[in-house]
Amino acid sequence: MRKKVVFTAVFAVLLIVSFNLSAKYRYRLRYLRREAVPVQFIEPENVAETFNSAFSLQESFVNVARMVKPAVVQVTTEKTVTLRYWDPFGNLGDVFRNPFEDFFQPREPKRKEYQQKQKGLGSGFIVDSSGYILTNNHVVKDMDKIMVKLMDEKKELKATVIGTDSKTDLAILKIKGFGKFPTVKLGDSEAIRVGEWAIAIGNPFGLDETVTVGVISAKGRKGFGISQYEDFIQTDASINPGNSGGPLVNLKGEVIGINTFIVAPSISSGIGFAIPINMAKDVFSQLKEKGRVVRGWLGIIIQPLTEELRNSFGLGETEGVLIGDVMKNSPAEKGGLKRGDVIIQFDQRVIKEPDELSHIAANTAPGKTIPVKIIRERKEKTLEIKIEEMPAEESLIAEKEGEEYWRGLNVEAITEDLMKRFNLDTNEGVMVNEVESGSSADEAGIRKGTIIKQINQKRINNLSDYTEAIRGIKKNKDAILLIQEGKYTRFVILKGEEK
């Protein structure tokens, strides 16, 4: 009897568990049936249509590569540089020295130097059948030897620099050969649209005839400090070291840009940027004809009119650019422009951004008188400014002594973008953006990003102060600089030339 009771109890438990599992299974099955999506079969004609579209796009890429590659060249460069170092053993290795010096004189370190060849790599493309090549200025700048190799050609051709333009980072080379060279067709960069296909062709890492594909990601990118006039095309087509100077083309095989640089977390991937071909067309024609680029010049340092500045000046919602400084004897000074003026129109064109004014002024013919509408002390006023030709050394980057930087220093005005990037509290001073290797500035330990606050105890507030200060220093005289690195300042001495 007891066994029967136990058996009945166990059977009841199993029955309950079985019922629960069955209920859960039925519920899960109903849930899955309810969520299930019916399979859609693609009709044969749709498959064919999709395949034809993909095949057509593929053929477009193939045709562009076949059409453009013959005119794309590999640019190799070579430069001899002098490197200096301190020998801690001084004259120990000099067999002709007086042997008693080791006993009676302290051994001091001696500065020695040696020469080394630096090699570079880039790309370019032929735009004229007589052998004219467009590339980047940074690819060929200050190089002793430039060689060019065409597709399917084992022999390299020596290239001559016809002209360079650091303000747009463009350069023209010329090669000679037998017969006519293959060329590319130049397109219209103003007509491109975000989302269109973009094809980059070049020699990344020396891998010639490399073709990569992406899209136009954005237009009008600026503020990188790569060149003075920036209006870059952004693309996700893979661009790597060695691509600089190569073409960015559309599906028609037309060049729409010149691949220039990348912003990358690693050396082999990132976002690529190209100079619009429309900008390059004007530079090319001027460099080819004159060997230089003629630009209009105002002679002012400008900055964005931020909301804080508008409130400080009581300008409300006014749009324009603020004049931070006026250069001496410049067209701006002669025409009556002053520091603190807000330019709202230039030649009857509304001005909203500093880059916009820089481009328009540079493209204005020297000698032309332009109406410039400003706001001064909350009142509108129009001045007539006669544009002059930009001096060879005039730039936001102050240069001196021919093509050499002053004692190896290349500086720029401290803009609002630089203030944000380097977390600066003020824009007083000038910022170093390049230091020549082996120069007195290099030996003094000055690096890119250093801020110059004083020169020979003269306060440096802007580029005008900097230019004025270095102008009065003789080449053979030392200069004392007060520099700021991070939160701290220190004095350094830039040695003058030895007599």
Phi, psi of 248 (to 5 degrees): -110, 120
Active site residue 169: yes
The one catalytic residue among 169, 231, 325, 355:
169
Q: Which of 123, 227, 238, 244 is catalytic?
A: 244
Backbone phi, then psi, for 2, in 5-degree steps? -65, -40
Contact 170, 133 (CB under 8 A): no
Looking up tokens 């954005």, which residue turns up?
218
Q: Is 359 a catalytic residue?
A: no
CB 175 within 8 A of CB 131: yes
Asked if 89 and 107 touch (Cβ cutoff 8 Å), the reply is yes
Catalytic one of 138, 165, 231, 439: 138
Question: Which residues are marked as active site?
Answer: 138, 169, 244
